[in-house]
């Protein structure tokens, strides 16, 4: 469930006592998920709708209608669900595999800290937490910039 909240004013003043309705569309196929259901007043111009059909992986476009008592430019308000932010916060980030995502960067950090590694010739090889799958490889160099294997590496560059 997600709660959609809207704010209505009349000439800039918070408006109470309205009977607003809400319309919710699925962005992916433009179908209506909710057709003009009533909203509940919270107070001080705020109204809400408990959207129980909410699915986190679906984007929604929402229009709330404050009713004919409001002028045309204050009658309607729009919003959308920002599920991609809240759902990603709550999700298992390591199950999300989107190339170039923050998850990929976090996964590399996690593997670097928790996975195994070994030096082979002049390369540092970093493995996933299972210590089997390679996730990164670096060439190692000494202070003079010459390739080195185990003696005082001072620089690495990703291969």
Could you give the domains of the chain?
Answer: 2-89 (2.60.40), 92-158 (no CATH)
Residue 135 confidence class, pLDDT cut points 50, 70, 90: confident
Unique residue bearing structure tokens 């809207």 = 6
Tell which residue, 66, 70, 34, 65, has the closest CA to residue 50.
34
pLDDT in tens, 42-98: 999 999 999 998 887 788 899 999 999 998 889 999 987 765 555 555 555 455 555
Stronger pLDDT, 152 or 63, i.e. the higher one: 63
Nearest to 110 by CA among 85, 136, 90: 136
Task: Give the residue carrying structure tokens 């080195």.
Answer: 148
Residue written as token pair 């294997």: 149
């Amino acid at each position: 469930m997600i709660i959609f909240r809207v704010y209505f004013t009349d000439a800039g003043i918070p408006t109470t006592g309205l009977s607003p309705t809400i319309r919710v569309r699925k962005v992916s196929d433009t179908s209506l998920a909710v057709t003009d259901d009533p909203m509940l007043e919270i107070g001080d111009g705020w109204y809400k709708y408990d959207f129980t059909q909410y699915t986190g992986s679906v984007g929604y476009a929402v229009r709330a209608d404050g009713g004919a008592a409001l002028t045309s430019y204050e009658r309607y308000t729009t919003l959308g669900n920002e599920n991609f932010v809240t759902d990603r916060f709550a999700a298992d980030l390591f199950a999300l595999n989107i190339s170039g995502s923050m998850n990929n960067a976090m996964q590399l950090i996690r593997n670097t800290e928790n996975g195994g590694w070994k030096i082979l010739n002049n390369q540092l090889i970093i493995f996933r937490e299972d210590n089997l799958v390679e996730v990164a490889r670096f060439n190692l160099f000494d202070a003079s910039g010459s390739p080195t294997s185990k003696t005082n590496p001072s620089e690495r560059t990703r291969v």
